[in-house]
Structure 1
Amino acid sequence: MALKLVQVNFKARDDSALGRFWAEALDWSVSSAEPGATSVKPVGFVWADPTTVGIDVIRVPDPETVEYRVHIELATTSAAHHAELVARLKELGATPADVGRGDLPSTVLADPEGNVFCVLEPREIHRDTGPIAAVVVDCADPRAMARFWDEAMDWTLHEVTDDHALLRSAKGVGPYLEFLRTPHLKDMRHRAHLDLVPHPIDGQAVEVVRLEALGATLADAGRGDFPWKILADPEGNEFCVLAPA
């Protein structure tokens, strides 16, 4: 059995405030099981078998604020919805963000802690994804990322070119996972990453061994004794394998 993508994990100085922002932005619920960690999930979210991808915000003393490879894209259903959503996000504290690409068919914003995200113009492909249309990971080689992540997860590979690779849950629900070719990537720790859960039968240890055989490397040296395992894919994008639900 392969892994399931369960959430995008953001580092933040104030997890509660950022969690509230995203809960209001997505019209989802917000909860905190322990100090320093805030989860944002839709009502009815099932951890062991998610039909969407949630957001987990973790408080850290000094989150990275410049370089990051993971961002989310929000879906809209019409031009009016797009304008309404952008206006509401700005009222909640989002600010315009200049990423140097004026030709994007989207509005680029930053949340209150500087995490850049996009509000997409209406697209037929995103009509049934829910509020999060896609989770996008910058990379150097989308084809190589497609090979690794297609084997790593239980998602289906929909499209792969030299410029991007597109995966989605095999159930045809929730957002897409896109690997986007991006030049001049820098090698550093990132403020956002993917969290994945293993099948209860196989468990965490078995999945970690399988991922290493696929080309992943352990990346948690010196960061503490966590119940999750921190790994990096072949391009150095960190992700976590959580304990089975």
Structure 2
Amino acid sequence: MALRPAQVNIKALDGSAVGRFWAEALGWNAFQPGVTTYVGPGDDLVWPDPVVVGIDIVPVPEPKTAAKNRIHLDLATTSEAHQAELVARLKAIGATPAHVGQGEMPWTVLADPEGNEFCVLEPRDIYRDTGPIAVMVVDSTDPRAMAHFWGEALDWPLHEVTDDHAVLRSAKGTGPYLEFLRTPGVKTAPDRIHLDLLPYPGDDKAAEVARLRALGATDLDLGQGDVPWTCLTDPEGHEFCVLALS
């Protein structure tokens, strides 16, 4: 039994505009199957995508208030020229420089039009086959513990683990990495970004949710009411949802 990340969920005041930004940023397309805007590859909406982790933009009435999200995306590049071109193009479509205490680094930290931070990485061989999203990065107080929980939740093997960071990826060797990065401070407020997980075909959603609770997940009540997905938090309080296959 296991789950897979189906999409990164981003809350936005203007879901359509933020969706268009991310579609242009990733070279994908934006689709509006309902109230949300889904960003994924290809000319037609395929959900769940068999390989990539998509982005789902959900409209909300509240703006971003936290100084920094505890989850962000790292984008891959293939050369220094590609990195420079991508940064310039992102700024042209609405990205702004972001300062999160990074100092002088080879990557560039930006924010989307509603202030959600992300990084444009310098070229790294390890990310040559991830697609445009190289890494889903989660701030953590204990990366080793997070690696244990999420490794069991997703059945993803560890690629590297230290006291400061832990890196996992699908055993299929496709799609982005998931990294837990030791970061000062603890989570104190709901995030604008979270992961949406999906059972594999033939697996039972209720059984998967029960398994996550046994691993240390906690039920989360956001006033969502009677919905087909289940809202949970991991042992450090990061929100995530378990979706139902339609």
Deviation of 1:53 (Å): 1.0
Deviation of 1:50 (Å): 2.8
Find out whether 1:87 has 2:91 as its counterpart: no
Q: Which residue of structure 1 lines up, in the alignment, with residue 167 of structure 2? A: 166
What letter matches 2:38 in structure 1?
S
Deviations 1:160-201 (A, max 9, x none): 110111011111011100010101123211110000001232
Are residues 18 and 68 of structure 1, via their aligned partners in 2, closer, same or farther at CA, if it must alter by over 3 Å? same
**Distance between the aligned counterparts of 2:89 and 2:173, measured in 1?**
29
Check whether the contact 2:220–2:233 (CA below 8 A) recurs between aligned residues.
yes
Deviation of 1:46 (Å): 5.0
SS of the residue corresponding to residue 157 of structure 2 reads: strand
Deviations 1:47-84 (A, max 9, x none): 34631111100000004332421100000111100100
Deviation of 1:126 (Å): 0.6
Deviation above 3 Å: which 4+ runs of structure 1?
A: 44-49
**Distance between the aligned counterparts of 2:224 and 2:213, measured in 1?**
19
SS of the residue corresponding to residue 134 of structure 2 reads: strand
Find out whether 1:210 has 2:201 as its counterpart: no
Q: Which moved more, 1:184-193 or 1:71-80?
A: 184-193
Gaps of 5+ in 2: none
SS of the residue corresponding to residue 136 of structure 1 reads: strand
Q: Which residue of structure 1 lines up, in the alignment, with residue 126 of structure 2? A: 125
Q: Which residue of structure 1 lines up, in the alignment, with residue 54 of structure 2? A: 54
Check whether the contact 1:45–1:51 (CA below 8 A) recurs between aligned residues.
no
Question: What's the TM-score once normalised by structure 2's chain length?
Answer: 0.95
**Distance between the aligned counterparts of 2:103 and 2:197, measured in 1?**
33
**Distance between the aligned counterparts of 2:32 and 2:60, measured in 1?**
15
Check whether the contact 1:65–1:191 (CA below 8 A) recurs between aligned residues.
no
Q: Which moved more, 1:198-207 or 1:112-121?
A: 198-207
Across the two proteins, how many residue pairs are aligned to each other? 244
For residues 93-108 of structure 1, the aligned pairs below 5 Å read 93-108=94-109
**Distance between the aligned counterparts of 1:18 and 1:238, measured in 2?**
21
Check whether the contact 1:198–1:243 (CA below 8 A) recurs between aligned residues.
yes
**Distance between the aligned counterparts of 1:127 and 1:200, measured in 2?**
29
**Distance between the aligned counterparts of 1:94 and 1:102, measured in 2?**
19
**Distance between the aligned counterparts of 2:60 and 2:231, measured in 1?**
16
Q: Which moved more, 1:123-132 or 1:98-107?
A: 98-107
Are residues 184 and 71 of structure 1, via their aligned partners in 2, closer, same or farther at CA, if it must alter by over 3 Å? same
**Distance between the aligned counterparts of 1:149 and 1:175, measured in 2?**
14
| Backbone CA RMSD of aligned residues | 1.4
**Distance between the aligned counterparts of 2:117 and 2:219, measured in 1?**
27
SS of the residue corresponding to residue 102 of structure 1 reads: coil
